[in-house]
Amino acid sequence: MDLTELRLKVDKVTDSAISKVDWVNLPFGKVFTDHMLMMDFVDGCWQEPQILPFQSIPMHPAMSSIHYGQAIFEGLKAYRHNTEKVSIFRPDMNAKRFNESAKRMCMPQIPESAFIEMVRKIVEIDQAWVSEIKGYSLYIRPFMFATDHWVGIKPSETYKFMILLSPVASYYSELVRVKIEPYFTRAAKGGVGRAKAAGNYGASLYPAKFAQDQGYHQLVWTDASEHKYIEESGTMNILFIIDDVIITPTEDEDTILRGVTKRSILDLARYWGIQVEERKISVEEVINAAKNGRLQDAFGAGTAATLAQIALIGYEGTDYHLPPVETREISNKLKSYLSLLKIGQSEDIFGWNFPV
């Protein structure tokens, strides 16, 4: 099937599990909706996608992705505007990034229009799960993994593409405490840092645990060769405001994930006339700015966390505290505009909301 005209097989549940959800105590990514989407890649082409009741899937113990990590994912969200209307935030960006990740990991492409339609269709079916509670959304997790039954190492010939949906509240419930990492590395030049490859996240856990044991939420990753330049923070892109200028590491380096939330923040900031610099930013520049009171703000940007303001930055045993959050005019304005835009309560200047 070439997926130019997408046909989808749908098998719906008879009883929804939605009434069992504890919306007040909703952990991130542990509750799933009634349905999931599944599509196999066999004999060089994608087979008919199916939406079916959420269930476990059988797994061969030699399945190549669990041995060699040929696995990628995406994360995007759907939001409720009102009782009738739900929209998805910029799914075209995720479709594009998914294919970039697939290319780097030697995996098959999915036409962007088919990716978007599969996402739209499953959200439409489970739209009752998009909560209207403030700050809540439906996290959409498309992913692909190699399924050959073979422990020899070569690109798999078969793959599974799936989409899961999970209702979520805010990812961080408080301001984020981060620590600049002087030794460990998330990604090196020529590696897979730009791809949303499963292994990038697995490899980050051990260094992140050290930081968490010291009371931080996350690390700020630095470059692999000298640990002098800032790259990302945990699973988010990172942005700083020094002297009223938003500065964020350039995406020209293939060590940095091309974030949809970050791109939206930068587009919006430029539209509002705020100066933005996408360039190399050194640890020294950030720490000096913090020491002499010029570091006005620092925040992470990611789908799960949205815009997460940073409380303090730890470096070489000292914690540099950022100004009180009430004084952070730019990030407060960006955060508020973006969250209202996604629920249809501020003007969608760029046409980022994709209706379901």
Which listed residue (150, 184, 201, 354) binds ligand COI by CB under 6 A?
A: 201
Cβ proximity to ligand COI, 6 vs 236, nearer residue:
236
Binding mask 3-42 for ligand COI (x = CB under 6 A): ----------------------------------------
Strand duo 86-89 + 353-355: pairing = antiparallel
Identify the residue among 235, 248, 255, 309 touching ligand COI (CB under 6 A): 235
Tokens matching residue 80: 């409720």
Query: Min. distance of Cβ 76 from ligand COI in angstroms?
Result: 7
For ligand COI, the closer of residues 232 and 285 by Cβ is: 232
Alpha carbons within 13 angstroms on the beta-carbon side of residue 8 total 19
Of the pair 179, 196, the CB lying nearest ligand COI is at: 196
The stretch among 126-134, 143-151, 270-278, 302-310 that binds ligand COI (CB under 6 A) is: 302-310
Q: What is the 3-state secondary structure (H, E, C) of the chain?
A: CCCCCCCCEECCCCCCCHHHCCCCCCCCCCCCCCEEEEEEEECCEECCCEEEECCCCCCCCCEHHHHHCCEEECCEEEEECCCCCEEEECHHHHHHHHHHHHHHCCCCCCCHHHHHHHHHHHHHHCHHHCCCCCCCEEEEEEEEEECCECCCCCCCCCEEEEEEEEEECCCCCCCEEEEECCCCCCCCCCCCCCCCEHHHHHHHHHHHHHHHHCCCCEEEEECCCCCCEEEEECCEEEEEEECCEEEECCCCCCCCCCCHHHHHHHHHHHHCCCCEEECCCEHHHHHHHHHCCCEEEEEEEECCCEEEEEEEEEECCEEEECCCHHHCHHHHHHHHHHHHHHCCCCCCCCCCEEEC
Is 172 a binder of ligand COI (CB under 6 A)? Answer: no
- Using CB under 6 A, pick the residue from 302, 314, 335, 337 that binds ligand COI: 302
140: nearest Cα among 153, 129, 151, 154: 129
Question: Could you say whether residue 193 binds ligand COI (CB under 6 A)?
Answer: no
Closer to ligand COI by Cβ: residue 218 or 303: 303
Q: Contacting ligand COI (CB under 6 A), which of 69, 75, 91, 249?
A: 75
Q: Which stretch binds ligand COI (CB under 6 A): 111-119, 205-213, 242-250, 301-309?
A: 301-309
Q: Does 300 interact with ligand COI (rule: CB under 6 A)?
A: no
Size of the site for ligand COI (CB under 6 A): 6
Q: Which of residues 101-120 bind ligand COI (CB under 6 A)?
A: none
Nearer to ligand COI by C-beta: 95 or 295? 95
- Pick the piece of the chain touching ligand COI (CB under 6 A) from 57-65, 83-91, 278-286, 297-305: 297-305
- Minimum distance from CB of 156 to ligand COI (Å)? 23
Task: Name beta bridge partners: 149.
Answer: 63
**Is residue 137 involved in binding ligand COI (CB under 6 A)?**
no
Which residue is nearest to ligand COI, using beta carbons? Answer: 75
Site pattern 303..332 for ligand COI (x: CB under 6 A): xx----------------------------
Residues forming contacts to ligand COI in the complex (CB under 6 A) are 75, 201, 235, 302-304
